[in-house]
Chain A
Amino acid sequence: MVGPKKKGLVFRYLFAIVLLLIMIYPYIYMVLNSFADWSQVDKKFFPTEYSLKSWEWLLGGGESVIPRPWINAFFNSLLVSAGSTILMMVSAVMVSYALAKIQFKGRDTINNVILFQMFFPAIILLIPTFLVIQKVGMYDSYWGMILPKAMSLWAVFMYTNFFKAIPDTFIEAAKLDGASEMQIMFKIVLPMSKSITTVIFLFLFMERWTELLWDMLVAKSDNMLTLNVLLSQMFGPYGGYPGPMYAASVLLTLPIIVIFLLFAKKFQEGMQFTLK
């Protein structure tokens, strides 16, 4: 009785592992090709000869006018993504706290407007938002990339639902102890929301890190480009140098994977909550 059952289990795990390897093969292909000898890039499923030429080219600047443009773009990405994500988190916590835990006239109206805006197709806003940024002189600046993405209605929605589930008695008690609204928000409500904060942070950061269209419109000068935009621009011109392109892809993908894996456990806990 135990024998066949065990066999079935081994088979199941094997199947799951093979499927997982197929799913992440594109990443494996990317990493291997970034280290492959240039004669073998895109020529074999698993390259057999390796060299560091692609990485030397990438980190040394290659044939570009700017020295080390990829490193520069990497830090632009980091700055823009971190700036946007922090602002999105802070604004979402504040607004959600008001919507869930403060009773004031007009709250329902704000709630409805947010819901309306959430289901509104955002595509209509692309051109005029670009014009707004241009008019206020933020074209080709970090703020131009950060500010239009400083607020996430999805995050507000998630936090509001979570905060509503926190019993008011906690807040009442803190109030009696003389805590201010700010203190309650940061010292009581937020520490109770760690796992959902992880989920929201990861989704927002991932989305911001891989944004193309908006950054592409706003960033124009070579030293303002984010890594994603630079990679996109070099797609054609560097077509003859696929090796360094794979190295640049690794540079873009690795940080986000590391961040995700660091928070993976908390992320799963949080997902359990959001899916209920």
Chain B
Amino acid sequence: MRKNQGWLGWLFASPYLLYAIIFFLIPLVWSLFLSVTDWNLISPTYSFVGLENYAAALKSQGVQSAFFVTFKFMAVFVPLVIAFSIIVALIVQGLPRFKGLFLIGFFLPYLASGVVSSLIVKGILSYNSPLNEFLRGTFGLDIDWLGSPFAALFVVALIIAWKFTGYYALILTSGFESISKDVYEAAMIDGVTPWQRFWKITLPLLYPALFTVLILSIGVTFGIFTEVYQLTGGGPNFATNTWQMEIFTKAFSNLQAGYASAIAIIASIVTFVAIYIIRKLLELWGKRNGWT
């Protein structure tokens, strides 16, 4: 570390400072200001409405659905992606060779654009698709995948789980690798069953990697947009209406810029508080397993 380089430090940091002022500070203040107006994104005039936007937002079906839909997505997506990525990591871990090659292969879905995966899924789930013909022909099942509330939510969660599985498996694999082989040998001598070994030894020792994956996946659920926009538009009957979808619709389709800004602020507060609480809970869980 060298001293007396004040100007040089500020010079090197200046891209961030510029960026923070233009794309963080100004928008932040602007957003707070907009949220107490009834501006419609186009007209040159607007009037102040106080906290009316907030009151209306909290009572609206759109905001209430976004609140619950996010947690529903979390309840479906997070267990799915965690289970998938643990399975993939366990399988790759058991291979003596070509581990890297397989991990690269499983990572490929991460590269898909949400638009592309939505398009493929729409094709696979269309009425006359091979999958639906098969289900109808073999089991007599006729599922309206995107037309029924739970199925639509599940399909979107599954697409996103598909995308992230390989990425999270990569993180978990390095977690597995850091677990010492001695622990397993000791367990084997004590006659621990594979089932017990997984739940009582592997999972608690995997905590740091698992923590990362859980936090990342929970973060993902608060930012779902593309797949919902593409496949369901938030429907049917608000069943997949996420925060981003709600804000986008209100601001750029209905042109209620003031009202949508209030929703955005509510969404940020909910997101921040929820992630904070979940983080604390996960840390508590870690402490009980001896991690600090």
- Chain A interface residues toward B at CB < 8 A: 9, 12-13, 15-16, 19-20, 23-24, 26-27, 29-30, 33, 41-45, 90-91, 94-95, 97-99, 101-107, 110, 113-114, 117, 119-121, 123-129, 131-132, 147-148, 150-151, 156, 168, 175, 181, 206, 209-210, 212-213, 217, 228, 231-232, 235, 242, 245-246, 249, 252-253, 256-257, 260-261, 264-265, 268, 271-272, 275-276
Contact = CB atoms under 8 A, between A and B. Distances in A.
B101 to A, nearest CB: 9
A156 B15 CA distance: 11
Contacts of B111: 206, 210, 253, 256-257, 260
A28 to B, nearest CB: 10
Contact of B27 (A97, A103, A129): A129
Interface of B: 1-3, 5-13, 15-17, 19-20, 22-24, 26-28, 30-31, 34, 87-88, 91-92, 94-96, 100, 102-121, 123-124, 126, 128-131, 162, 165-166, 170-171, 174-175, 209, 212, 222-223, 225-226, 229-230, 243-244, 247-248, 251-252, 257, 260-261, 264-265, 267-268, 271-272
A20 B229 contact: no
A98 B34 contact: no
A105 B230 contact: no
Contact of A117 (B24, B162, B265): B24
Given A12-B91, A272-B174, A275-B174, A91 B5 contact: no
B184 to A, nearest CB: 17
Given A26-B120, A125-B24, A15 B91 contact: yes
A264 B114 CA distance: 22
A231 B116 contact: yes
A78 to B, nearest CB: 14
Contact of B2 (A13, A103, A126): A103
B95 A125 contact: no
Given A33-B123, A102-B9, A252 B170 contact: no
Given A20-B106, A235-B230, A98 B13 contact: yes
Q: DSSP majority for the B interface? A: helix
Contact of A102 (B2, B108, B112, B170): B2
Nearest to B11: A98
Given A23-B166, A132-B26, A268 B103 contact: yes
B34 A128 contact: yes
Given A106-B10, A271-B170, A121 B112 contact: no
A228 B115 contact: yes
16 contacts: A97-B12, A99-B13, A101-B1, A103-B2, A104-B6, A120-B268, A123-B244, A123-B268, A126-B248, A148-B23, A210-B111, A212-B114, A212-B225, A212-B226, A252-B113, A275-B170
Given A29-B123, A252-B113, A252-B116, A16 B92 contact: yes
A163 to B, nearest CB: 12
A43 B87 CA distance: 31
Given A121-B268, A271-B170, A210 B27 contact: no
A106 B14 CA distance: 12
B27 A128 contact: yes
Nearest to A98: B12
A15 B247 CA distance: 44
B16 A121 contact: no
A114 B16 contact: yes
Contacts of A276: 174
A249 B122 CA distance: 13
Nearest to A151: B19
B119 A127 contact: no
Contact of B102 (A20, A107, A117, A209): A20
Contact of A228 (B107, B113, B209): B113
Nearest to B248: A213
Contacts of B212: 275
A9 B244 CA distance: 46
Contacts of A212: 113-115, 225-226, 229
Nearest to B261: A127
A39 to B, nearest CB: 12
Nearest to B113: A210
A255 to B, nearest CB: 10
Given A19-B91, A98-B12, A127-B264, A246 B115 contact: no
B251 to A, nearest CB: 5
Given A26-B162, A123-B267, A98 B9 contact: yes
B102 A16 contact: yes
Given A107-B9, A132-B27, A126 B247 contact: yes
A234 B142 CA distance: 28
Most chain B CB within a 10 A radius of its CB, from A103, A105, A126, A242: A126
When A and B form their complex, which 4 residue pairs have the shortest distance between CB atoms, in order from nearest? A104-B9, A98-B12, A128-B27, A210-B113
Contacts of B92: 16
A42 B15 contact: no
Given A43-B130, A210-B114, 9 more contacts: A23-B165, A30-B120, A95-B15, A104-B6, A106-B10, A121-B268, A121-B271, A210-B112, A256-B111
